[in-house]
Structure 1
Amino acid sequence: MTKSQGDVVEAALAILDERGAAAISMRTIAERLGVRMNTVLWHAKSKARLMELVADAIVGEASLDDLPAHWRERAVELTRRYRHALLAHRDGATVVTGTYPAEPATLNFAEALVAAILDGGLPEQQAAWTCWSLIYFTLGLTQEEQALPGRSTIDLDVGQRPALRRVASALIESSFEERFEFGVAKLLH
């Protein structure tokens, strides 16, 4: 049976969800699909290329449909959807962080986010940098969230650091969701 690039990406996503990013390889995909590695290599010439395709598939799960009309609400909603797409896959943020895919879904998402920010009246450079800031913030926070499942910062020992001691309770009590909403609001003030 002939396999497509989509089959390769789908198999990689299944491996990602089951065993994490470190388990994705040309060999594990070939085994899952019941094909030789050459078949996988035909569709993804290298591991780096494969990970770009997987990252694009993850970002592609952030729907661009039914967005709010107001630019700020639209940008916030897009960023929320981006985060949810990352969280939908084990190590999703790690996979996307480790790539720089100039692929259709990633470009479509960036287009929608930049358009929302431009609609808010920001000049081109500020719109681009705000887009990057939202993406990087979301990737970093989500990567931390996925790396700490079931753990909290309740055991945070700041030692003799007076500024950290002053804010320790806020660090312990705040959820990733709250931190995300706060950060996005600050970036889109």
Structure 2
Amino acid sequence: MTKRQAGEGRGARLDAEMVIRTALEVLEEKGLDALSTRAVADRLGVRMNTVLWHVKTKAWMLELMADALIGEIPLDGLPDSWDERVRELARRYYGVLLAHRDGAALVVGTNAPEPHTLRFANTLVGGLLDGGLDEREAAWTAWTIVYFALGLAQEEQAAAHQRLEGRLADAVSGAAHPALHRALVHLGPDSFGERFEFGLSRILARP
């Protein structure tokens, strides 16, 4: 029996959860650019159509992967006070994005109304509602937190693979960019955590 034939035999026992788990393994090893349904099929030892039978399209596979990442965020042990609860949820969200190779890039490209994502969003919006925000303020503040975390995490993960600090310092001129030149020391790759806390405090500041 060939390897592919053996894989096809295993494919009958495949389910979407196994496909997504394998896809996350491929993501960790090769990165988002190398992720494809064919790469997942090769890892499983099955035909690509077998993978697609479970996840339908690559786009839906990415959404299910993003939801699986969000599912790693624990929603227990949260502070009682609404503002500390929201801060802790944001920190856990940010941490999960950073815990996976290209985690932020994966999630930012999806819009997954899947169980884990909806559960996290419900908890986040619920905390903001408990803080006295009306429904629109709570919804839009939750989106602001998510977009902020995604953007900063994506930048941090890119900085981990590139020498962005040196490139920025070389590009910024005191004569051409005086304001940016003055602030440059605060934009280094070692300040992401502080920037996250600063931005989160600004988002949650009440008038």
Q: TM-score normalized by structure 2? A: 0.88
**Residue 67 of structure 1: aligned partner:** 78
**Residue 184 of structure 1: aligned partner:** 200
Contact kept in structure 1, 2:159 and 2:189, CA below 8 Å: no
Q: Do residues 175 (structure 1) and 185 (structure 2) align? A: no
Moved over 6 A (4+): none
Contact kept in structure 2, 1:154 and 1:172, CA below 8 Å: no
SS in 2 for 1:3: coil
Structure 1, unmatched stretches of 5+, are none
Q: Do residues 164 (structure 1) and 184 (structure 2) align? A: no
SS in 2 for 1:105: helix
Could you give the per-residue CA deviations for residues 145-185 of structure 1, whole angstroms, max 9, x where no partner exists? 11110635255232211211221222237511111111111
Give the number of aligned pairs: 189
Q: Return the structure number with greater relative CO, CA threshold 8 A, min gap 6.
A: 1
Q: Which has the larger radius of gyration?
A: 2
Deviates more, 1:149-158 or 1:171-180: 149-158
AA at the equivalent of 1:20: G
Residues 9-88 of structure 1 aligned to structure 2 (within 5 Å): 9-88=20-99
Q: Do residues 121 (structure 1) and 137 (structure 2) align? A: no
AA at the equivalent of 1:90: R
Q: CA deviation at 1:62?
A: 1.1
Structure 1 pair 79/30, CA: closer, same or farther in 2 (3 Å)? same
AA at the equivalent of 2:196: F
SS in 1 for 2:72: coil
Structure 2: distance between partners of 1:40 and 1:172: 42
Structure 2: distance between partners of 1:153 and 1:126: 36
Structure 1: distance between partners of 2:192 and 2:181: 20
Q: Do residues 153 (structure 1) and 165 (structure 2) align? A: yes
Structure 1 pair 20/182, CA: closer, same or farther in 2 (3 Å)? same
Structure 2, unmatched stretches of 5+, are 1-9
Structure 2: distance between partners of 1:21 and 1:170: 29
Q: Do residues 104 (structure 1) and 120 (structure 2) align? A: no
AA at the equivalent of 1:42: W
Structure 1: distance between partners of 2:49 and 2:152: 37
Q: CA deviation at 1:32?
A: 0.7
Structure 1 pair 173/97, CA: closer, same or farther in 2 (3 Å)? closer
AA at the equivalent of 1:59: I
Structure 2: distance between partners of 1:122 and 1:24: 40
Could you give the per-residue CA deviations for residues 42-86 of structure 1, whole angstroms, max 9, x where no partner exists? 111111001000010111111111111110100000011001111
Aligned identity (percent) is 53
